[in-house]
Amino acid sequence: MAAFELSRVLNEAKRYDEAVKYAKKATSIDPENLWYTLYQIFITHERYTEAKRDVFSGLAQKYPGENEEYPLKKGFFPVKANQPEEAIKYMKSLKP
């Protein structure tokens, strides 16, 4: 897909905001493509902590039980955003 490839090229060129924009576009065009979603997460920088949390939240809902890392990552990003109470509340809601 062109949007995904353009995102990769822009990321290599250190044009991060544009790369994220096209990664999101690729994900919105093909939301079932797990690779597009994971790529979007990994090129996202610290200032997009909330977006990362939302993406992992979506993955946890879309693929329940397939990867225990998804819900755990959702709880990790509030910590990175200096919102530890939100992280604690979320982690307590997880079933063991």
CA distance 92 to 55: 20
Place of tokens 């200032």: 47
Q: According to the model, what pLDDT value does residue 26 have?
A: 94
**By the 8 A CB rule, do 74 and 90 touch?**
yes
The whole-model pTM stands at: 0.53
Q: According to the model, what pLDDT value does residue 23 have?
A: 92
CA distance 14 to 9: 9
Q: According to the model, what pLDDT value does residue 80 have?
A: 67
Contacts of 18 (CB under 8 A, 6+ apart): 10
**By the 8 A CB rule, do 22 and 7 touch?**
yes
Q: What is the pLDDT along the chain (96 residues), one digit of tens a residue?
A: 899 999 999 988 988 889 989 999 999 999 889 889 888 877 875 455 666 666 666 776 777 666 667 666 667 767 766 778 877 887 787 766
